[in-house]
């Protein structure tokens, strides 16, 4: 039950990334993070994470808006610079939409 099952861990057909591929993926998520930060005001927190999962190496970029839910996306290992720009724009738009939704959900108080 605790990792000792025959099917636990990474599937056999999941390729392991080389050190160069990991460096490239780190650079890619740093690029998406930088582009996303440039599109948003300072009140939005943008971060990234690179970790090993059951399906291989996972690269994620996330935005925490000042109000609303966190928005995140995965960065594929084969993404191009054009894909990075698209992901950054989509993240920024999603974060802005979360703020709009959160503000619309606030009920005004009687004065």
pLDDT for the residue 72: 95
pLDDT for the residue 1: 46
pLDDT for the residue 56: 82
pLDDT for the residue 111: 56
pLDDT for the residue 8: 55
- Which CA distances in Å does 29 have to 6, 11, 16, 69, 109? 33, 24, 18, 21, 42
Q: Provide block-wise average pLDDT over 10 residues at a time, the chain (111 residues).
A: 51 73 93 97 96 86 94 92 96 94 72 56
Q: Which residues of 23-38 are buried (b: 16+ CB within 10 A; e: fewer)?
A: eebeebbebbbebbbe
pTM of the model: 0.79
pLDDT for the residue 17: 83
pLDDT for the residue 95: 96
Domains and CATH numbers, the chain: 19-103 (3.30.160)
């Amino acid at each position: 039950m605790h990792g000792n099952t025959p099917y636990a861990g990474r599937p056999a057909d999941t390729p392991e990334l080389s050190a160069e591929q990991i460096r490239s993926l780190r650079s890619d998520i740093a690029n998406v993070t930088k582009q996303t930060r440039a599109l948003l005001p300072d009140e939005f927190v943008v971060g990234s994470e690179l970790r090993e999962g059951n399906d291989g190496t996972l690269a994620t970029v996330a935005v925490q808006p000042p109000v609303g839910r966190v928005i995140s996306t995965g960065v594929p290992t084969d993404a191009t610079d054009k894909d990075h720009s698209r992901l950054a724009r989509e993240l920024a738009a999603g974060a802005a939409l979360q703020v709009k939704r959160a503000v619309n959900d606030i009920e005004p108080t009687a004065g």
